[in-house]
Amino acid sequence: MRNEEKKAEDNVSMVIQFVLLGFYDLPNLQGLLFTLFSIIYMIILIGNSLLIILTRLDTQLLQKPMYFFLANFSALEICFVSVTMPRMLKNLWTQYRIISKLECATQMCFFHTLGATECFFLATMAYDRYVAVCKPLHYPVVMNHKSCIRLAIAAWISGIPVQIGQTCQVFFLPYCGSNRINHFFCDIPPLIKLACGDTSLNEMCVYLVVVFFVFAPFFLILGSYVKIIFTILKMPSATGRFKAFSTCSSHLIVVLLFFGSISINYLRPKSSHSPLSDKMFSLLYTIMTPLFNPLIYSLRNKDVITALKKLFLRKV
């Protein structure tokens, strides 16, 4: 560890900066991890940006509400992964892991705000599928342009006040011991471990926030898909059933990966927590979900593939 990191760690009277240890326990794999995560980050940026560009350029196939929400979701994924990945890549490349208290608080606030937004966007997209499949005659009226914009704005801003409050609550805790965060980004559980004094209120708030921002949208999604499945099973056409199942299964893959990994990571008992497991579960919802989003929604969607072919042929 560098001299600057040792100096920062020795400051036990008042912690003013932290050390993001990241994957320090894999010293021989730093170069490989940097290359791997750099490639993944580029795929996420290119894939999600391409979906946004397609929905903007295609004026026929990709102008449905589903693709409006998908474009917003892709933009969200770019923002979400960019909160943690650039800093992680910098730490892997330079091995300089110090982060100021303000930078740490900013990263944590943006990360959890965008995470809450993602939960509500997934619920909104499930509601869109529910109306499209279960109430197709009412779909143009219920999911009109103004309604879509309102739902998108609500999803973007819903988590801001709560997450700002939670961030302030965590960073008002006294930090007077070790400042080494055994994680690759500033997250609430590893920071609470470093705090001095009683943190029971903070831990209770984490559970309450997870229940509101994770469980509530998840059960809304689950209820929507139960009704969707029953409606699909009643369809007389086998082709229609297959198309509906294909579209909905794509959404469910993202939902299960995202909500499942978050729930396990934040709601596990303390005894089952370990730095390695925390990092592994965090990688699932910080990196794998943004990576799979463009792959699932593009490779399993005929309209997106058709629009991509049209764009390619136009350029050629």
Give per-residue pLDDT as tens, 195-227: 887 888 888 888 899 888 988 999 999 899 888
Beta bridge partners of 18: 99
Q: Is 88 exposed, middle or buried (0-12, 13-18, 19+ CB in 10 A)?
A: buried
Fold exhibited by the domain 15-315: Rhopdopsin 7-helix transmembrane proteins (1.20.1070)
Scan for tokens 């609500």, then name that residue.
154
Q: What tens digit of pLDDT does each residue of 243-255 get?
A: 667 767 777 877 8
| Helical residues (DSSP H) of 135-215, grouped into ranges | 139-142, 145-157, 160-171, 188-194, 200-210
pTM, to two decimals: 0.88
25 alpha carbon, distance to own chain's centre: 26
Q: Where are the domains of the chain?
A: 15-315
Q: Which two tokens stand for residue 172?
A: 């008002």
HSE toward the beta carbon, residue 192, CA cutoff 13 A: 18
Q: What is the pLDDT at residue 153? A: 95
**17 - beta bridge partners?**
100
**Separation CA 239–CA 235 (nearest Å):** 9
pLDDT at 240: 66
**Radius of gyration over alpha carbons of the chain, in Å?**
21
Rounded Cα gap, residues 91 and 119, in angstroms: 29
What do you get for the CA distance between the two ends of the chain, in Å?
Answer: 52
The residues of the chain scoring below 70 in pLDDT are: 1-14, 240, 243-244, 247, 270-273, 297-300, 314-316
